[in-house]
Amino acid sequence: MDFNRIKEKLNILADAAKYDVSCSSSGSNRKNKDNGLGDTGNGICHTYTEDGRCVSLLKILLTNHCIFDCAYCVTRKSNDIQRAAFKIQEVVDLTINFYRRNYIEGLFLSSGIFKSADHTMERLIAVAKKLREEENFNGYIHLKSIPGASDELMYEAGLYADRLSVNIEIPTISGLKLLAPDKKHEDFIKPMLKVKNEIIRYKEESKIIKSTAKYAPAGQSTQMIVGATGESDKDIMYSATHFYKNYKMKRVYYSGYVPISTDSRLPSLGSEVPMLRENRLYQTDWLLRFYGFSVNEILDADNPNLDMDIDPKLMWALRNLNHFPIDINKAEPRMLARIPGIGMGSVHKIISGRKYRRLNWEHLKKMGIALNRAKYFIICNSSDWEQRDLDAATIKGMILQSQNSKFKNQYNNQLSLFN
Amino acid sequence: MNASKTLVYDGSFNGFLTAVFIGFEQKLTHADIQKQGQLQSGLFAETETIFTNIEKAQRVWNGVRNKSNSAIKNIYFAFLSEQNNMEALIYRYIQKLMGSKYNGATDFSDDGVLKINQLAHKVGREKHRMEAFVRFQLTKDDVYFANIEPDFDVLPLISKHFRNRYADQQWIIYDVKRKYGLFYDLNTVEIISLDLSDIHTNSTEKSAAFTDAEHEYQDLWNNYFKSTTIKSRINNKLHVQHVPKRYWKYLSEKKAV
Ligand code: SF4
């Protein structure tokens, strides 16, 4: 193997792949087969990049040659950059050798579109097939579904991949028309639909026949770029909800637009990556998936954007003060989960703990609840609680003041969700 | 009834559980359970040497498990924390658990319970870290070799993970701090101790112990790590929070090239 040549390619093709933020390697159930190599599990982050993102997969493009010219993409045809392409065997060797050294959980392979969608998809499948069949590799494989790829190929891809994804990238159809005029909305939807139907089929059949060949056991995901087309948070979250619902997405990722082009349709080079906004969108996503909120409770025509100063749960609570205060010792779990400053972990602790005794402030504090936020919304076993009839703006002001210094540090902290 | 006494065990988990059994048998309200060789009790305390008895250990284990599955995990993890005085904490925890009328429920408003939970949580985090941060280097004898220096004694906890995952390659994971390791020979995992002349960190020098390609792959990984970073999003604070500096010396992606 010519390591120098491989190194050059790796630099180019990893650099081009890094804007896809998904690095999840969890949710699959592939076990090690016949004393072969690898298995999947909860998904381990083997390291973190200097921008603080989890590195769990070898994330590369097969090639960054592309016949399309999507304005928001570094790989676009008109961009004057170095191009490279891996051979199939080179990707297989890299994956296996990184995996054996415990660097990664597996491979995330995407590609620029060369010749045609089908031709590209075929090559991606060839890599996955080789890993599974020739190397008996049971680690995680995430393949990109190439927009416009045929149903037959999408079927085949799911036989080898744990996860498939097609990035919708632009949350609104008008935005897509503006920035990727040669791509059609249907081209994204078609593979998504096929994968969804195959996943449903696989789940049904495997209930009856145990030996049914696995089909994309970790499901499918998509990504939207945030802040490239002037879309509102409502546009993004309604679109995300649509994909969760209608395509049974496992995850929707939100990726703050990193300026890579002087194109006048886009934010100029040097404008800031909207990281705080991205974080707020993830928090909202979390509320929808795990906390029992529905999207119109948080965003609607009157409130099309999230509050950047405070997290979306607090924002919701301040708009719905009539639900509060909530009694910690009596409330249903569903309502406990809606209290600002209380995460799901704390909800469980409260439910366990209150069997033994009525909980007071001291107990709650030790459980790690963020009382500086929660205290305005709860009563517990103590006569000392917020009795003043405060309005939303006052509470918000007091909370912001109490966390002012702490809050500043959280600006860049993508993963600090609710605790 | 004895209120307090020092029980000395051999340092093993089964030894500890045996001591718990004896403590319960003698109805000790406070059992001062200590590892042999680390005895720190006062001059006048009564001491008893405990001989590890698998059957008695098993009975404690089963008793706890019948109460709560998460408790059994907490106890084992907290034990591996090697924390000063964790024995007494765990003893009290088991006492509370056996005296409680709620099966499976954990009293998160109790200090001792919280403390054990925190210890177990820390050990659990270290286990995950080691599953993530082990970096194998391929020796000329075809063994994938890694040194580690975990904060807690987590080798027993990570053995199964590596056995399941790397079933078709020989590997050694060696804890430099505790001077023992695991060796998988394609059949079973064994505990080994080695006479290590040098500790293999993420050195930039090529070592004769490893294959020629080894260095190249480390180099590729190191490169990959750099290319996958988005410069306009650099956040070193977050980076170091996830990958604390004390682990860097074994991480090939963190070597200075
Ligand atoms: S088709 Fe894909 S790789 Fe090509 S320019 Fe568009 S987004 Fe980029």
Complex prediction ipTM: 0.90
The confidence score (pLDDT) of residue B104 equals 60
CB A339 within 8 A of CB A326: yes
Confidence class for position A156, pLDDT limits 50, 70, 90: very high
Query: What does the pLDDT average to over A214-235?
Result: 92
Structure token pair of residue A82? 């170095």
% chain A with pLDDT above 90: 65
**Rounded CA separation A367/A361 (Å):** 10
Q: How far is B99 from chain A (nearest CA, A)?
A: 13
CA angle (A291 as vertex; A360, A216 as ends), nearest 5: 140
The confidence score (pLDDT) of residue A127 equals 98
**Crossing angle (nearest 10°) for helices A233-246 and A275-290:** 40
Helix then strand then coil, in percent of chain B rounded to 5, is: 45, 15, 35
Q: Where are the domains of chain A?
A: 3-265+272-292, 312-418
Thinking of the domain A3-265+272-292, which architecture would CATH place it in?
Alpha-Beta Barrel (3.20)
In the 8-state DSSP scheme, what is residue B246?
A: G
Average model confidence (pLDDT) for chain A?
89
Q: How far is A342 from chain B (nearest CA, A)?
A: 15
Rg (chain A; Cα; Å):
24
Q: Which of B105, B213, B220 shows the shortest C-beta gap to A355? A: B105
The confidence score (pLDDT) of residue A401 equals 87
Structure token pair of residue A98? 């990184």
The answer to whether B224 contacts A10, with C-beta atoms less than 8 Å apart, is: yes
Query: What does the pLDDT average to over A188-196?
Result: 92
Q: Cα separations (Å) of A262 from A159, A259, B141?
A: 41, 8, 54
Using the mean position of ligand 1's atoms as its centre, give its distance from the Cα of residue A69 in Å.
6
Confidence class for position B2, pLDDT limits 50, 70, 90: low
The confidence score (pLDDT) of residue A330 equals 94
The confidence score (pLDDT) of residue B44 equals 59
**Rounded CA separation B88/B92 (Å):** 6
**Contacts of B83-90 spanning 24+ positions with Cβ under 8 A:** B83/B119, B86/B119, B87/B16, B87/B19, B87/B31, B87/B32, B87/B33, B87/B34, B87/B35, B88/B30, B88/B31, B88/B32, B88/B33, B89/B115, B89/B116, B89/B119, B90/B16, B90/B20, B90/B116
Which is more confident, A278 or B206? A278
**Rounded CA separation B62/B56 (Å):** 10
Atom of ligand 1 nearest to the CA of A169: 7
The answer to whether A15 contacts B227, with C-beta atoms less than 8 Å apart, is: yes
Give the lowest-confidence range in A25-29, A60-64, A387-391, B120-124: A387-391
Is residue A414 pLDDT above 80, yes or no? no
Confidence class for position B202, pLDDT limits 50, 70, 90: low
Q: How far is A164 from chain B (nearest CA, A)?
A: 21
Is residue B39 pLDDT above 80, yes or no? no
Is residue A174 pLDDT above 80, yes or no? yes
Query: What does the pLDDT average to over B232-245?
Result: 85
Is residue B1 pLDDT above 50, yes or no? no
Q: Where are the domains of chain B?
A: 4-125, 134-254
CA B244 distance to own-chain centroid: 18
A99-111: pLDDT as tens digits: 999 999 999 999 9
Query: What does the pLDDT average to over B223-252?
Result: 86
In the 8-state DSSP scheme, what is residue A158?
A: H
Structure token pair of residue A111? 């590609």
CB B138 within 8 A of CB B144: yes
The residue among A386, A329, A334 whose CA lies nearest residue A360 is: A329
- Chain A, window 276-295: residues with a beta carbon less than 8 angstroms from a chain B beta carbon: none
The confidence score (pLDDT) of residue B257 equals 58
Rg (chain B; Cα; Å):
22
Query: What does the pLDDT average to over A326-350?
Result: 94
Structure token pair of residue B121? 């949580």
Query: What does the pLDDT average to over B53-72?
Result: 92
Residue A327 parent element (H or E): strand A326-327
User: Does residue A325 have a cis bond before it (omega within 30 degrees)?
Assistant: yes
Task: Give the binding-site residues of ligand 1, using a 6 Å CB cut-off.
Answer: A 66, 68, 70, 73, 75-76, 112-113
Torsion of CA A369, A373, A374, A379, to 10 degrees: 130
Residue A208 corresponds to which amino acid? I
Q: How far is A193 from chain B (nearest CA, A)?
A: 30
The confidence score (pLDDT) of residue A347 equals 94
The confidence score (pLDDT) of residue A406 equals 47
Of all residues in chain B, the one with the smallest CA distance to A366 is B109
**Rounded CA separation B121/B108 (Å):** 14
Strand order across the B30-35 sheet: B30-35, B4-9, B47-49
Query: What does the pLDDT average to over B117-143?
Result: 95
Confidence class for position B227, pLDDT limits 50, 70, 90: confident
Is residue A407 pLDDT above 80, yes or no? no
On whether the pTM is more than 0.95, the answer is: no
Confidence class for position A383, pLDDT limits 50, 70, 90: confident
Nearest CA owner, ligand 1 atom 1: A68
CB A176 within 8 A of CB A183: yes
The answer to whether B230 contacts A51, with C-beta atoms less than 8 Å apart, is: yes
Q: At B180, is the secondary structure helix, strand, or coil?
A: strand
**Crossing angle (nearest 10°) for helices B111-133 and B86-99:** 120
Nearest CA owner, ligand 1 atom 5: A76
- Chain A, window 70-129: residues with a beta carbon less than 8 angstroms from a chain B beta carbon: 94, 97-98, 100-103
Q: Which residues are within 8 A (CB) of B11 and not within 5 positions of it... i.e. 6 or more apart?
A: B35, B36, B37
Is residue B187 pLDDT above 90, yes or no? yes
The answer to whether B166 contacts A100, with C-beta atoms less than 8 Å apart, is: yes
Is residue B51 pLDDT above 80, yes or no? yes
Query: What does the pLDDT average to over B210-236?
Result: 88
The answer to whether B135 contacts A136, with C-beta atoms less than 8 Å apart, is: no
Is residue B205 pLDDT above 90, yes or no? no
Structure token pair of residue A106? 């597996």
Strand order across the B180-184 sheet: B137-138, B143-148, B170-175, B180-184, B189-192
CB A216 within 8 A of CB A249: no
Confidence class for position B142, pLDDT limits 50, 70, 90: very high
